Amino acid sequence: MTRVFSGVKPTGHLTLGNYLGAMRRWAAVDQHEADALFCVVDLHALTVEHDPARVRRLSRQAATLLLASGLDPDVCTVFVQSHVDEHARLSYVLECVATDGEMRRMIQYKEKAAREQRRGGSVRLSLLTYPVLMAADILAYGADEVPVGDDQRQHVELARDIAVRFNQRYEHTFVVPRATRPEVAARVMNLQDPMSKMGKSDDVGPGIVYLLDEPDVVRKKVMRAVTDSGREVVYDREARPGLANLLEILAACSGGSPEELAGAYPSYGALKKDTAEAVVEVLRPLQERHKELCADPGYVERVLRDGAARARGMARPTVDAAYGAIGLLPAV
């Protein structure tokens, strides 16, 4: 059976981008068709300036939202990264295989390092080695597939390179993973700045639809989305990025393709209205389930405890094998 691994980072409230780009397929497809693990990657949240209490809060919220999105702990494994030591254990060994040059070429590193510096902070070493920890997340479980949005594809490519290099240099230890992406909405853009990704850690709040936004807030954000001054509704990502973003969101929420939908709308106003309603409807069941789960925190804790135990059992043999292959004595 195909093994799938993916994760979300608790650095902000989860967004419509997280949902359409990744989470929705995890619940609808991956958990049913594969042996799947989904992880709240809290260690990754420590790579930038953060408030410890907020990271804890957001980790719990992200886990609750994963379950609210439809992940069923009876058919997949949901857990928190720091609860399974194997991630950090393997990450160090992979740092001995990855190179400094590879890390510095990562687009997200360059963007995030620049942002930290703009904010007057210093760049943490863990931000540079972030993709190695991510490779460890994936390789520890022998994942064949990693369902992610487009912004994570470069990191998954790096995990592939590291796996291939390790296997060639030492012993065949790792499955070589590949990224998978949704057909539409693999890169949902900020509604106020359609040239930038809708990112949960960004500052432009009005351009970001959060999964827990009230329906009226969602409507307001979508109706105020920046488009251009044209009249005709056409799907053209280069020339009309704001409009293309709305068409992709609508296609992802209601079916159909962005091209077909473009032909069906006489005006921007009608498109925005339908997009807003489609998003509200997609979020409604998730928000209802989230409310129920918040009333039963013990359940979420049990799921995470069981998930971590299962994940540990899956990761340990591979990580032990990697330790042996690279030249470390087995512990006695």
Of the candidate residues 13, 21, 76, 79, the single one contacting ligand TYM (CB under 6 A): 21
Of the candidate residues 18, 64, 180, 318, the single one contacting ligand TYM (CB under 6 A): 18
Binding of ligand TYM at residue 248 (CB under 6 A)? no
Binding of ligand TYM at residue 258 (CB under 6 A)? no
Could you give the C-alpha distances from 313 to 138, 185, 277, 316, 317, in angstroms and in order? 15, 34, 43, 6, 8
Of the candidate residues 27, 63, 132, 134, the single one contacting ligand TYM (CB under 6 A): 134
The answer to whether residues 218 and 209 touch, using CB atoms and an 8 Å cutoff, is yes
Options 197, 220, 221, 272, the catalytic residue: 197
Angle (CA) 178 179 184, round 5°: 150
Binding of ligand TYM at residue 6 (CB under 6 A)? yes
Of the candidate residues 31, 152, 227, 245, the single one contacting ligand TYM (CB under 6 A): 152
What is the Cα–Cα distance from 241 to 137, expressed in whole angstroms? 34
Is 197 known to be catalytic?
yes
**327 has binding-site annotation:** no
Binding of ligand TYM at residue 146 (CB under 6 A)? yes
CB atoms within 10 A of CB 125: 9
Instruction: Find the distance separating the first CA and the last CA of the chain, reported in whole Å.
Output: 33
The answer to whether residues 163 and 135 touch, using CB atoms and an 8 Å cutoff, is yes
> Min. distance of Cβ 298 from ligand TYM in angstroms?
26
Binding track over 50-89 against ligand TYM, x by CB under 6 A: ----------------------------------------
What is the Cα–Cα distance from 272 to 162, expressed in whole angstroms? 44
Residues 29-48 that bind ligand TYM (CB under 6 A): 41, 44
The answer to whether residues 308 and 315 touch, using CB atoms and an 8 Å cutoff, is no
Of the candidate residues 138, 276, 314, 319, the single one contacting ligand TYM (CB under 6 A): 138
CB atoms within 10 A of CB 212: 15
**291 has binding-site annotation:** no
Q: Quick one: which segment of 120-128, 149-157, 160-168, 222-230 binds ligand TYM (CB under 6 A)?
A: 149-157
Residues 206-225 that bind ligand TYM (CB under 6 A): none
> Min. distance of Cβ 227 from ligand TYM in angstroms?
18
Of the candidate residues 73, 149, 258, 307, the single one contacting ligand TYM (CB under 6 A): 149
User: Which is nearer to ligand TYM, 47 or 227 (by Cβ)?
Assistant: 47
Which residues are CB-neighbours of 162 under 8 A, at least 6 positions away? 94, 97, 98, 132, 135, 139
Options 110, 200, 220, 273, the catalytic residue: 200
**256 has binding-site annotation:** no
Three-class SS state of 208: coil
| Phi/psi-derived region of residue 73, left when phi > 0, alpha when psi is between -120 and 50, beta in every other case | alpha
Options 110, 112, 220, 272, the catalytic residue: 112
Binding of ligand TYM at residue 198 (CB under 6 A)? yes
Closest by alpha carbon to 323, among 209, 170, 220?
A: 170
**255 has binding-site annotation:** no
Could you give the C-alpha distances from 58 to 5, 11, 120, 269, in angstroms and in order? 20, 7, 24, 35
Is 272 known to be catalytic?
no
Which helix (H) or strand (E) is 306 found in, with range? helix 297-326
Residue ranges of the binding site for L-tryptophan: 137
> Where does this chain bind ligand TYM (CB under 6 A)?
5-9, 17-18, 21-22, 41, 44, 134, 137-138, 146, 148-149, 151-152, 155, 186-188, 197-199
**What is the set of active-site residues?**
112, 197, 200
